[in-house]
Structure 1
Amino acid sequence: MISSSRKKKIVAIMCICVHLINKKKQIKEKRPLKKRSVWVLDWLQKRSTDGSYAKTLREFREVNNQKYLFKNYLRMNEATFNYILELVSPNIKKSDTNMRKAIPANERLAVTLRYLASGDSFKSLSVDFRIAPNTIFIFVPEVCDAIYKALKNEYLKVPNNEQMWIDIAQKFSDKWNFPHCIGAVDGKHIVMKAPPRSGSTFYNYKGTNSIVLMAIADADYRFIYIDVGCNGRVSDGGVFGKSTFQKALDNNTLRLPLPQPLLNRARDCPYLLVADDAFRMQKHILKPYPGRNLTAGQRIFNYRLSRARRVVENAFGIMAKRFQILYRPIQLNEHKTTQITLACCALHNFLIKKNDSYMAGLTTDRNDQQDNSVHEQGTQNCQQGAEERPTTYITNEAKEIREEFEQYFMTVAGEIPFQYRCLC
């Protein structure tokens, strides 16, 4: 039983609590409500007449120079813009209310595309389009999500049959002289501000906070697989090892073509990805020989593999050049940063297929008139491999496949005239 003195203490504490609660309610009741000075600022109300979207459209149509406007301002022509608008309108269109009119779907899309293309702050976009920055902050990720969902099934899908993989491998062989290659894999850090209370979760080796975009690109700089959202602290190899693509490779559910010998060779070689030294070499993933004291054949193999692998690096560069939001830290949380990255990847693939001018003026790897291999972005010297690392985790089968490619590149059927220049 509780003693009488203890009961008195409990009752006293309860009385004090009730008194404090009542006092707090009284303070709230006495506090005057802050009156809103204006519902919408006057300069924002002029959006329909003086806003950037309506004004620039009118001016450029008058001078008949729409191509310049859309290519440089929204990264696409008007026909392409209208096509995307038709796809995403059902998901981004809002209804008018008695209080105010909703921002039209075409303006929402235009603001979002301008944000992706320029990387401008929401305050800067607010001045251009006469839309409040907090409103832009809300709908830009929503529109990005709608763009990704509208385009992913047709323009951002993994090949699902043997013939599609063979077509990709044939293009790699024709354009980059690497047979049996079904894609180049690499990761890119999408820099963002550190999320609250995240500690070092997103802190990467480059000294920034980021999420990882893991991508596989085909020979035409298009992404055939992406994995976005893993924290930047994880290595490229770690991200790929936990991806659905790696699981599909392990379970043999990608419907890859059966292994076949290289030209004029006897040993069967599987269809595979090319990667850098950050990845674990396995049956379906080739990476360069490590170390510095390499044989001529190993150095040539590293050059040939690097030449094919650079496709994914160039794809990242092309996308970042067109969507310059990827050039600077994104001032959003990890979820919204993921939505923006997914939208950029989907638009990248879509515009490569639909818009001939998307890649105009951009420099990529090529061969000049004298068959010299011209590289527009840096890579490691083909005469030396990456840093020496333990190779005990590499299976004998993977080593034999790499040696088979090395020997093939030294034969008459597999060599290319300019590969020996890397030995000089």
Structure 2
Amino acid sequence: MDTQRQKKLAAIIYICYYIKRKRCLEKNSIPRKKRNMTPRSVWVNEWLLKRCTEGAYEKTLREFREINNQKYLFKNYLRMNETTFSELLKKISPFVKKNDTNMRKAVPDCERLACTLRFLASGDSFKSLSVVFRIAPNTISLFIPEVCDAIYKTLKDEYLQVPSNEDQWNEIARKFNEKWNFPNCIGAVDGKHILMEAPTRCGSTYFNYKGTHSIVLMAIADAEYKFVYIDVGCNGRVSDGGVFGKSTFQHALNMNSLGLPSSRPLEGRELNVPYVLVADDAFRMQKHLLKPYPGRNLSAGQRIFNYRLSRARRIVENVFGIMAKRFQVFSRPIRLNPTKTTKVTMASCALHNFLITKSSNYVESQTDEEGNLIPIEFNQVSLRPVQEGTVEQPNNYISNEAKEIRREFEEYFMSVNGEVPFQYRHL
């Protein structure tokens, strides 16, 4: 008897499930008009159809190209001249060009690149760019990350490549010694927080100590304001030292796979010292990375060392400033998710090196509203005395080898061969 009741109950449950499922299928198959959904009024908005004649690429930029005395406007608008734009377009065109269909014409690759460069140069919203270029905002949101990804992939091998042999590292060290009076230096390392709006469903993952949401750009710069190495995408909660400690560059340092030259003595000295990076207090000092002496009660030699190291280390700070000035997208929180923000940052770093190589006055000067060149004198930037802004920290985690290397540089900077006349003004 119980068995029959169980069979009947199972049959009733199955019938109810079948009826419910059938009703759901019928509901989803109801035509759009019966579901009270507003049908699309037009296939393409009429103002978007005027892109070929009224868009920024076909109207504004064409005007800049045709007027001889206003060609600098093209460079100010896209941060590069027409020749450099054409060269960059040729490189990325195979990766961003789309085919036309029977339904509509694709946005040309030149307009995709121009819109992306304008986004990097101004940081405008997609809706603002839509009005200027006459491209739908949802279309812009799709192709800007694609173009940024293509820019980075096509430029990184030629303009953003880590040196792999001794000759290349020696060239970087030679320029550091000539321009910034710091021998055996292969780069200045520091991190920069790339601000962005709080990502959805991420909680406090990207919340940093400054009270904003960000990802970290860890970079190593050479003496000519170029990026030698970048690491982008780590959440802003991690410190600069933590990001560098987990980077591929630190791993290569530990494995001795960077191809660095052998240790050599400084001029007039006998102790062999390795090639080093210069950094601030946020990093852990090691054999190939020097940071300032901490504390306030420092000797004259330690103060001189801190000044000379800060003078070389500020190069990477200048690089961040130059890039943020050229690409105003970094002047405000980026309204993209972390993945797209990472692509924008990597593309900007690659473009920075690309433009320095192609333009002789990219770093040394900038243009005012009348097109006149204004020189940038980084040597006049005031340096915060490191010995007055740091707090004494325990040095038990610093190896004796690293301490000895730092002491050797200190004695060299106080010697006849290593001193510079202006260093004593900063005591």
Normalization by structure 2: what TM-score? 0.94
Q: Say whether 1:164 aligns with 2:168.
A: yes
Q: Separation in 1 of the partners of 2:232 and 2:408?
A: 34
Q: Which runs of 5+ in 1 are unaligned?
A: 367-373
Q: Say whether 1:303 aligns with 2:307.
A: yes
CA RMSD of aligned residues (A): 1.6
Deviation (angstroms), 1:122 = 0.4
Deviation (angstroms), 1:189 = 0.8
Q: 2:376 aligns with which of 349, 363, 377?
A: 363
Q: Say whether 1:275 aligns with 2:279.
A: yes
State whether residues 126 and 141 of structure 2, in contact with CA within 8 Å, keep that contact through their aligned partners in structure 1: yes
Code of the residue aligned with 1:32 in structure 2: it is: R
Q: In the TM superposition, what whole-angstrom CA distance separates every residue of 1:356-411 from its partner, at most 9, and x where no partner exists?
A: 23222363522xxxxxxx216xx532442522222211000000100111111111
Deviation (angstroms), 1:16 = 2.4
Q: 1:334 aligns with which of 332, 338, 362?
A: 338
**Residue aligning to 2:133:** 129
Q: 2:381 aligns with which of 372, 375, 378?
A: 375
Q: In the TM superposition, what whole-angstrom CA distance separates every residue of 1:280-334 from its partner, at most 9, and x where no partner exists?
A: 1000000011111111111111111000000001000000000111111111111
Deviation (angstroms), 1:216 = 0.2
**Residue aligning to 2:10:** 10
Q: Separation in 2 of the partners of 1:47 and 1:300?
A: 60
Q: Say whether 1:104 aligns with 2:117.
A: no
Q: 1:248 aligns with which of 238, 247, 252?
A: 252
State whether residues 61 and 74 of structure 2, in contact with CA within 8 Å, keep that contact through their aligned partners in structure 1: no
Q: Say whether 1:218 aligns with 2:231.
A: no
Q: Separation in 2 of the partners of 1:298 and 1:186?
A: 22
Q: 1:158 to 1:61 in 2, by over 3 A?
A: closer
Q: 1:364 to 1:344 in 2, by over 3 A?
A: farther
Q: Separation in 2 of the partners of 1:5 and 1:399?
A: 86
Deviation (angstroms), 1:2 = 8.3
State whether residues 204 and 233 of structure 1, in contact with CA within 8 Å, keep that contact through their aligned partners in structure 2: yes
Q: 1:347 aligns with which of 344, 351, 366?
A: 351
Code of the residue aligned with 1:16 in structure 2: it is: C
Code of the residue aligned with 1:272 in structure 2: it is: V
Deviation (angstroms), 1:274 = 0.2
Q: 1:2 to 1:37 in 2, by over 3 A?
A: farther
Q: 1:181 aligns with which of 172, 181, 185?
A: 185
Q: Separation in 2 of the partners of 1:126 and 1:411?
A: 61
State whether residues 178 and 304 of structure 1, in contact with CA within 8 Å, keep that contact through their aligned partners in structure 2: yes
State whether residues 66 and 78 of structure 1, in contact with CA within 8 Å, keep that contact through their aligned partners in structure 2: no
SS in 2 for 1:30: coil
Q: 1:92 aligns with which of 92, 96, 120?
A: 96
State whether residues 294 and 384 of structure 1, in contact with CA within 8 Å, keep that contact through their aligned partners in structure 2: no
SS in 1 for 2:192: strand
Once the two structures are aligned, what percentage of the paired residues are identical? 66
SS in 1 for 2:47: helix
Q: 2:397 aligns with which of 387, 393, 396?
A: 393
**Residue aligning to 2:371:** none
Q: Separation in 2 of the partners of 1:197 and 1:204?
A: 16
Choose 280-289 or 187-196, whichever is displaced more: 187-196
Deviation (angstroms), 1:66 = 5.2
Q: Say whether 1:28 aligns with 2:28.
A: yes
Q: Separation in 2 of the partners of 1:230 and 1:85?
A: 30
State whether residues 96 and 146 of structure 2, in contact with CA within 8 Å, keep that contact through their aligned partners in structure 1: yes
Q: In the TM superposition, what whole-angstrom CA distance separates every residue of 1:250-291 from its partner, at most 9, and x where no partner exists?
A: 011111111111111111110000000111100000001111
Q: Say whether 1:43 aligns with 2:56.
A: no
Q: Separation in 1 of the partners of 2:256 and 2:279?
A: 19
Q: 1:364 to 1:276 in 2, by over 3 A?
A: farther
Code of the residue aligned with 1:13 in structure 2: it is: I
SS in 1 for 2:68: coil
Q: In the TM superposition, what whole-angstrom CA distance separates every residue of 1:69-126 from its partner, at most 9, and x where no partner exists?
A: 2221000000000000000111111111111111111100000000000000000000
Q: 1:2 to 1:266 in 2, by over 3 A?
A: farther
**Residue aligning to 2:298:** 294
State whether residues 314 and 364 of structure 1, in contact with CA within 8 Å, keep that contact through their aligned partners in structure 2: no
Q: In the TM superposition, what whole-angstrom CA distance separates every residue of 1:165-216 from its partner, at most 9, and x where no partner exists?
A: 1110111111111110000000011111222211111111111111111000
Q: Which runs of 5+ in 2 are unaligned?
A: 367-374
Q: Separation in 2 of the partners of 1:344 and 1:141?
A: 12
Q: Separation in 1 of the partners of 2:303 and 2:228?
A: 29
Q: 1:211 to 1:382 in 2, by over 3 A?
A: closer
Q: 1:20 to 1:388 in 2, by over 3 A?
A: farther
Q: In the TM superposition, what whole-angstrom CA distance separates every residue of 1:204-253 from its partner, at most 9, and x where no partner exists?
A: 11111111110000001100100111111111111111111101100111
State whether residues 161 and 229 of structure 2, in contact with CA within 8 Å, keep that contact through their aligned partners in structure 1: yes
**Residue aligning to 1:370:** none
Deviation (angstroms), 1:10 = 3.3
Choose 356-365 or 163-172, whichever is displaced more: 356-365
Code of the residue aligned with 1:210 in structure 2: it is: S
Q: In the TM superposition, what whole-angstrom CA distance separates every residue of 1:137-187 from its partner, at most 9, and x where no partner exists?
A: 000000011111111000000011101111101111111111100000000
State whether residues 283 and 291 of structure 2, in contact with CA within 8 Å, keep that contact through their aligned partners in structure 1: yes
Q: Separation in 2 of the partners of 1:263 and 1:58?
A: 56
